[in-house]
Amino acid sequence: MDKLSCVWISLVALLRKDFVEELRAKYAMGSLLMFALVTLTVVSFAVGAFHPDAAIHAALLWITVFFTGMSGLGRGFVKEEEARTAVLLRLAATPDTVFAGKLLFNAAVMIAVTTLIYAMYIVLMGISGSLLLLYAVMLLGTLGMACGTTLLAAVVAQAGNQAMLLPVMALPVLMPLLMVAVNASRIALEGGAPGEMLGLLAFLASFPVVIVAVSLLLFEYVWHN
Amino acid sequence: MVDKTILTVSNVCKQYDQRLVLSGVSFSASAGESVVIAGANGSGKSTLLRIVCGLTTLSSGEVTWQTQEGALSPTQMLRRLGYVSPELGLYDRLSAFEHLETFARLRCLQLGPDVLSETLRRFGLGESMHRAVGEFSSGMKQRVKLALATIHSPDVLVLDEPSSNLDEDGRQLVRELIHEVARHGLVLLATNEVQEVAEYGQTVLRLD
């Protein structure tokens, strides 16, 4: 069997394991969904009646997405270290496969949660504008967040499972992404067209590529040390 | 790789904060040999095995694996060996069958359900292979670990207290595995049990 097929088989096996575990235990989805639900409910009670402008909505949306992500994205590696199953993975899978598997799982979970946040925000806050464009911005931003957080989650898991470290470490890495995502979301909420934010969309699309390339270079060291 | 594997451990030291766990440990072993690492609790047996496997970094010294493909670091050797340890966890919500299936695929082994079931039956888990591992006794979990460690027919088997929690059938299984691998490969075994030291210790390394 060629190397590419092997990588594919390993990756599917790892993803399948993570999804089966998630379906049975609801580690990540449960905490993420509850966090998103509570935050959005509080936000809608607090500012819903004041008809905030697009900039405030964009900021509130990304605060919700960022902290929801931080409350669950680190779990993938932390639970492997806590359950002492990380050694099993080190013994059987290549570091690249482990990184890719955890990244795809994080991305899938975050995209599902972001879709829910997007839908709930529209319902609860009654926002208007270019909503499809807003969704595209949120998906790209979320993908960037998942990519930027996966390597950091592995570092945090090695550092004595201190999950609270994740937001602290992630903020500087994700700051450029968040600034661009908030700006692009504001334009979309003001009813802007994609042509008005081509540069921002290009940044959002290239951020995950750069972060994944850097992470792949560093992950093996983090994973084995 | 089989008959050429040689492990060389040179002057290995391991320190956790201020505590020296291993000091100047040296030995070598080659395929066809079984090495027993004996010593009191806390003497560093498990740490030495983890260092040899590349699961823990060493403070000083060197570990090299000489194979037909050349010299490999412990980290490069990691996926080629079988490792069983009390420090190894299992996924509580997956069954023994799902464990074997997942880790066979992670190793890119194309083993059908029949082969996996047969393997689990050999390890005495035929009746319970589809039950969640979280419901297993510690002896049954040890059998799953042994099955996972040997599914890829490794030439190097690293066993840390392999008989712990096992009944007489399980101990017999461990005996068979050790003899099977030691015929052509290398077995490293950390134990406190006098009987195991006498039975498998072609070479005995005492850490005191």
* Other beta carbons within 10 Å of A89: 22
Instruction: Give the torsion sign (CA, A203, A204, A208, A211).
Output: positive
Contact assignment for B89 to A13 by CB distance below 8 Å: no
A30 touches chain B (CB under 8 A): no
Contact assignment for A97 to B106 by CB distance below 8 Å: yes
Question: Measured between beta carbons, which residues in chain A are less than 8 angstroms from residue B89?
Answer: 83-85, 87-88
The answer on pLDDT for B1 being more than 50 is no
Query: Residues with Cβ < 8 Å from B188, sequence gap 6 or more?
Result: B7, B29, B34, B35, B37, B49, B52, B156, B157, B158, B159
Tell me the average pLDDT of chain A.
91
**Chain B residue with minimum CA distance to A16:** B102
- State the count of interchain CB pairs (< 8 A) between A and B: 72
A92 touches chain B (CB under 8 A): yes
- Choose the mutation target among A78, A91, A94 for the interface with B, i.e. most B CBs under 10 Å: A91
Residue B202: phi and psi, rounded to 5, are: -55, -45
Residue B159: phi and psi, rounded to 5, are: -120, 120
B181-201 pLDDT, tens digit each: 988 899 999 988 777 777 776
- The predicted structure's pLDDT at residue B184: 87
> Can you tell me the ipTM of this complex?
0.90
Question: Measured between beta carbons, which residues in chain A are less than 8 angstroms from residue B100?
Answer: none
Q: Identify which of A9, A83, A84 has the shortest CB distance to residue B105.
A: A9
The answer on pLDDT for B2 being more than 50 is no
Integer-rounded Cα Rg, in Å, for chain A is 18
Per-residue pLDDT of chain A (225 residues; tens, 9 = 90+): 788 889 999 999 999 999 999 888 876 788 888 888 999 999 888 886 778 899 999 999 999 999 998 888 888 888 898 899 999 999 999 999 999 999 999 999 999 999 999 999 999 888 888 999 999 999 999 999 999 999 999 988 887 656 678 888 899 999 999 999 999 999 999 998 888 899 999 999 999 999 999 999 999 999 887
**Chain B residue with minimum CA distance to A7:** B108
Instruction: Give the torsion sign (CA, A15, B111, B7, B36).
Output: positive
A197-215 pLDDT, tens digit each: 999 999 999 999 999 999 9
> How many angstroms separate the CA atoms of A81 and A28, rounded?
15
- Residue pair B103/A89 in contact (Cβ under 8 Å)? The answer is no
Contact assignment for B87 to A224 by CB distance below 8 Å: no
In 3-state terms chain B splits into helix, strand, coil percentages (rounded to 5) of 40, 30, 30
> How many angstroms separate the CA atoms of A90 and B55, rounded?
8
Ramachandran area for residue A73 (φ above 0: left; ψ -120 to 50: alpha; else beta) = alpha
A16 touches chain B (CB under 8 A): yes
Closest CA relative to residue B158, chosen from B96, B78, B100, B91: B78
Contact assignment for A90 to B88 by CB distance below 8 Å: no
* Other beta carbons within 10 Å of A128: 11
Q: Helices (H), strands (E): how many in chain A? A: 9, 0
Contact assignment for A93 to B57 by CB distance below 8 Å: no
Domain boundaries, position A125: 3-223
For B208, counting Cβ atoms within 10 Å of its Cβ (0-12 exposed, 13-18 middle, 19+ buried), the class is: exposed
Could you tell me the strand order of the sheet in which B186-190 lies? B82-84, B156-160, B186-190, B33-39, B203-207
Contact assignment for A87 to B88 by CB distance below 8 Å: yes
Residue A61: what residue type?
L
**Chain A residue with minimum CA distance to B104:** A92
- The predicted structure's pLDDT at residue B41: 87
In 3-state terms chain A splits into helix, strand, coil percentages (rounded to 5) of 85, 0, 15
> How many angstroms separate the CA atoms of B190 and A117, rounded?
52
Q: Identify which of B78, B107, B108 has the shortest CB distance to residue A90.
A: B78
Tell me the average pLDDT of chain B.
89
Number of domains chain A contains: 1
- The predicted structure's pLDDT at residue A89: 95
